[in-house]
């Protein structure tokens, strides 16, 4: 069998290699994996971390995903919608504070009122975030679920010609049985496995930079399932990944049965991020806020394991508590200014710089579109020797209990 160091020097990985890397638990092995992912990020993507200021503009949702705190049937939740002016003001605040990019997220709706509202927001944000520092305005990521191709085309067109539009649509899991367990039957437009794949293809057709991702550590999910997720991302040739650990929500209707303990779950999520970097190489990978729900420095650990995108929450504070897809969501009591200041220091401590006033487009996207690699995706200032940027920084590895390891291994063995 290959040594771990031999394995980590490869550029191509078999399924068995991927499963082996995902399942690492020994702290020294995890550190080797982390270092390989971090150095590859430096080499292929650069040392900049880009912000997407996230605006959660409505918690109304027509769907009922069982894991989600804002699902349709959660009657306890007070619903809210930001106005167009509030939303645009939030984006202008982001641009004035040197964020080159914002992300608009809401529950899933497909009615014309909603579609036209988003269309208008895109136009306004693109026009009103222009400045000397950001002459072409902010780039925008949408995270608004499955929509018909014509809606994607309308939203894409509203932004104008520039390659500034991204869309994140998580596949959640590529295991159809687990996917089916997450989504109850009943409504005509409830999520379906096949339509989700079609939506990802439609986004590509409409001209978006396309991102997907999944939940890590879902009950019943195996390492082989996560490997299949990575193969799916490869087949779809995605530009961006947004993945996070599965965390229970009190507003959902799933039980905590079969969940990993916090430490092993964090380590598995970090391993997944690192392996995605090694396999998918030059895609943008977001350090999900959910990592911070597991460890105070969870997002920094995500950067250390190969992420290059962070999504600070800039939703107005009074409504933030009402947008909790999962429990213990961090930063819900902080002002956007607090997030900005605290994050930059954390990023510097990870040996990275913030890419202020830049769109931070996926290099993968630029490569597949034959576009020049943009100046904003500048190469690293210096080649990092393994771990050089992190020397002396303790990386908090998840504590792995025997019980949870055996649960995870059992899950692997159960896989056909």
What are 333-340's contacts with CB under 8 Å, separation 24+? 336/53, 336/90, 336/93, 336/94, 336/97, 336/312, 337/97, 339/312, 339/313, 339/314, 340/97, 340/312
Nearest distance, CB of residue 261 and ligand SF4, angstroms: 24
Nearest distance, CB of residue 271 and ligand SF4, angstroms: 24
Nearest distance, CB of residue 181 and ligand SF4, angstroms: 14
- Residue 219's alpha-carbon distances to 173, 394, 403, in angstroms, are 11, 30, 15
Please list, in sequence order, all residues whose beta carbon lies within 8 angstroms of the beta carbon of residue 270, skipping any fewer than 6 positions away.
30, 34, 291, 301, 302, 305, 398
Question: Given the complex with ligand SF4, which of 39 and 172 has the nearer CB atom?
Answer: 172
CA distance 212 to 60: 22
- Per-residue burial over 40-67, b = 16 or more CB atoms within 10 Å of its CB, e = otherwise: bbbebbbbbbbbbbbbbbbbebbbbbeb
Hey, is 50 helix, strand or coil? strand
Nearest distance, CB of residue 215 and ligand SF4, angstroms: 10
Nearest distance, CB of residue 252 and ligand SF4, angstroms: 9
Nearest distance, CB of residue 107 and ligand SF4, angstroms: 4
Question: Given the complex with ligand SF4, which of 123 and 322 has the nearer CB atom?
Answer: 322
CA angle 166, 171, 172 (to 5 degrees): 120
Question: Given the complex with ligand SF4, which of 328 and 406 has the nearer CB atom?
Answer: 328
Question: Which residues would be at the binding site for ligand SF4 (CB under 6 A)?
Answer: 61, 63-65, 68, 70-71, 107-108, 145, 325
Please list, in sequence order, all residues whose beta carbon lies within 8 angstroms of the beta carbon of residue 289, skipping any fewer than 6 positions away.
244, 299, 311, 313, 329, 330, 331
Question: Given the complex with ligand SF4, which of 53 and 251 has the nearer CB atom?
Answer: 251
Nearest distance, CB of residue 186 and ligand SF4, angstroms: 13
Question: Given the complex with ligand SF4, which of 124 and 146 has the nearer CB atom?
Answer: 146
Question: Given the complex with ligand SF4, which of 18 and 63 has the nearer CB atom?
Answer: 63
The secondary structure of residue 288, as a DSSP letter, is -
Question: Given the complex with ligand SF4, which of 196 and 277 has the nearer CB atom?
Answer: 196
């Amino acid at each position: 069998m290959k040594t771990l160091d031999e394995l980590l020097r490869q550029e191509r990985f078999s399924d068995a290699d991927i499963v082996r890397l995902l399942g690492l638990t020994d702290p020294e092995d995890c550190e080797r994996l982390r270092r390989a992912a971090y150095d590859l990020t430096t080499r292929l993507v650069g040392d900049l971390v880009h912000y997407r200021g996230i605006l959660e503009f409505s918690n109304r949702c027509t769907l009922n995903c069982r894991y989600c705190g804002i699902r349709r049937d959660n009657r306890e939740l007070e619903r809210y919608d930001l106005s167009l002016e509030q939303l645009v003001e939030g984006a202008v605040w982001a641009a004035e504070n040197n964020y080159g990019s914002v992300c608009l997220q809401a529950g899933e709706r497909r009615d014309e009122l909603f579609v036209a509202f988003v269309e208008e927001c895109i136009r306004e944000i693109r026009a009103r975030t222009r400045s000397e520092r950001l002459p072409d305005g902010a780039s925008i990521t949408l995270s608004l679920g499955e929509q018909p191709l014509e809606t994607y085309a309308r939203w894409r067109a509203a932004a104008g010609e520039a390659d500034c539009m991204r869309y994140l649509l998580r596949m959640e899991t590529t295991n159809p049985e687990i996917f089916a367990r997450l989504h109850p039957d009943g409504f005509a437009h409830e999520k379906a496995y096949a339509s989700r794949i079609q939506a990802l293809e439609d986004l590509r057709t409409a001209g978006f930079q396309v991102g997907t991702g999944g939940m890590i550590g879902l009950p019943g999910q195996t390492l082989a399932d996560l490997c299949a997720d990575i193969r799916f991302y490869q087949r779809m040739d995605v530009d961006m990944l947004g993945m996070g650990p599965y965390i229970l929500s009190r507003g959902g209707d799933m039980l905590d049965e079969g969940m990993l303990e916090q430490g092993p779950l964090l380590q598995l999520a970090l391993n997944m991020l690192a392996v995605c970097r090694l396999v998918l190489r030059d895609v943008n990978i977001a350090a999900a806020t959910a990592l911070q729900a597991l460890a105070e420095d969870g997002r920094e650990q995500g950067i250390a394991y190969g992420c290059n995108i962070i999504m600070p929450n800039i939703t107005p504070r009074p409504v933030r508590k009402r947008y909790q897809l999962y429990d213990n969501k961090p930063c819900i009591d902080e002002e956007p200014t607090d997030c900005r200041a605290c994050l930059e220091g954390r990023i510097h401590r990870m040996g990275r710089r913030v890419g202020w006033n830049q769109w931070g487009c996926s290099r993968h996207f630029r490569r597949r579109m034959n576009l020049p690699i943009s100046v904003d995706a500048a190469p690293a200032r210096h080649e990092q020797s393994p771990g050089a940027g992190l020397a002396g920084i303790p990386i908090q590895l998840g504590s792995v209990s025997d019980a949870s390891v055996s649960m995870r291994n059992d899950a692997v063995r159960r896989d056909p």
